[in-house]
């Protein structure tokens, strides 16, 4: 583990955006991580979506350590404790999931690694916070909406929320989430358009990241 809990949470708060990405090809994945890094990204979520995803992740962590020394590598789509342990061994600095599983919190907390569980209700966020989750992922964001974020923050203003699902690299969309009280956002397919990926236009991904981070800084001010 290269980055401690405080560093991870600080990077998420300060940049305000975590790319959410999966590809089975290690070379493509390396290019994407580097493109995001060049665009100012400092926390990157690689999702556990396909066969041998952990092997790709292990190589990606080694690559990032050399080529992107300030990049904090984490893993997403984690739903159980054994998979959490596997990825921690491979160098994951944070764990994200679509749901809240207290067993994951135990494993992550034991190693002082942030766990951002997917929560879809105020009670779930409360239970996750009790289990030591500093950041909760509001998922799916497009279903729950900005009203959910705003409503939750009123009685629980200490909550750190990462919105994933329905986040776009556009000012109007980002404004909706951050004005409602989001701490940061997770962005997947909208940051990696299929045609851009197919063409291997890594400079465009760098530009999308850079522009998105600039918009977020502007809104936060």
How confident is the model at residue 129, as a pLDDT?
98
How confident is the model at residue 217, as a pLDDT?
97
How far apart CA 38 and CA 52 sit, in angstroms, is 27
Percent of the chain with pLDDT over 70: 100
How confident is the model at residue 14, as a pLDDT?
97
Distances from the Cα of 183 to the Cα of 12, 38, 145, 202, angstroms: 8, 22, 15, 27
Residue 109's φ and ψ, nearest 5 degrees, are -65, -35
Give residue limits of the domains in the chain: 5-216
How confident is the model at residue 220, as a pLDDT?
93
What is the value of pTM for the model shown?
0.97
How far apart CA 130 and CA 208 sit, in angstroms, is 36
Structural contact between residues 150 and 175, judged by C-beta atoms closer than 8 angstroms: no
Q: CATH homologous superfamily of domain 5-216? A: Aldolase class I (3.20.20.70)
How confident is the model at residue 184, as a pLDDT?
98
Which region holds residue 4: left if phi is over 0, alpha if psi is between -120 and 50, else beta?
beta
Structural contact between residues 162 and 185, judged by C-beta atoms closer than 8 angstroms: yes
Tell me which residues of the chain have a pLDDT lower than 50.
none
How confident is the model at residue 44, as a pLDDT?
98
State the sign of the Cα–Cα–Cα–Cα dihedral 194, 98, 139, 71.
negative
How confident is the model at residue 219, as a pLDDT?
97
Q: What is the pLDDT of residues 113-124, one digit of tens each?
A: 999 999 999 999
How far apart CA 123 and CA 201 sit, in angstroms, is 43
How confident is the model at residue 50, as a pLDDT?
93
């Amino acid at each position: 583990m290269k980055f401690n809990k405080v560093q991870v949470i600080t990077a998420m708060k300060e940049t305000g955006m975590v790319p959410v990405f999966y590809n089975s090809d290690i070379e493509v994945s390396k290019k994407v991580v580097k493109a995001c890094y060049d665009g100012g990204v400092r926390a990157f979520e690689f999702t556990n979506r396909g066969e041998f995803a952990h092997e790709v992740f292990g190589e990606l962590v080694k690559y990032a350590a050399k080529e992107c020394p300030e990049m904090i590598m984490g893993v997403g789509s984690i739903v159980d404790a054994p998979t959490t342990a596997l990825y921690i061994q491979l160098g994951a600095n944070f764990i994200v999931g679509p749901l809240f599983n207290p067993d994951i919190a135990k494993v992550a907390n034991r190693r002082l690694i942030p766990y951002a569980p997917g929560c879809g209700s105020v009670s779930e966020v409360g239970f996750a916070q009790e289990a030591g989750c500093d950041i909760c992922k509001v998922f799916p964001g497009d279903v729950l909406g900005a009203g959910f974020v705003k409503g939750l923050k009123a009685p629980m203003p200490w909550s750190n929320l990462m919105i994933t699902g329905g986040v776009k690299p556009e000012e109007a969309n980002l404004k909706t989430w951050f004005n409602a009280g989001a701490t940061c956002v997770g962005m997947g397919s909208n940051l990696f358009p299929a045609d851009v990926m197919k063409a291997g236009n890594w400079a465009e991904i760098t530009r999308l990241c850079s522009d998105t981070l600039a918009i977020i800084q502007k809104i936060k001010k």
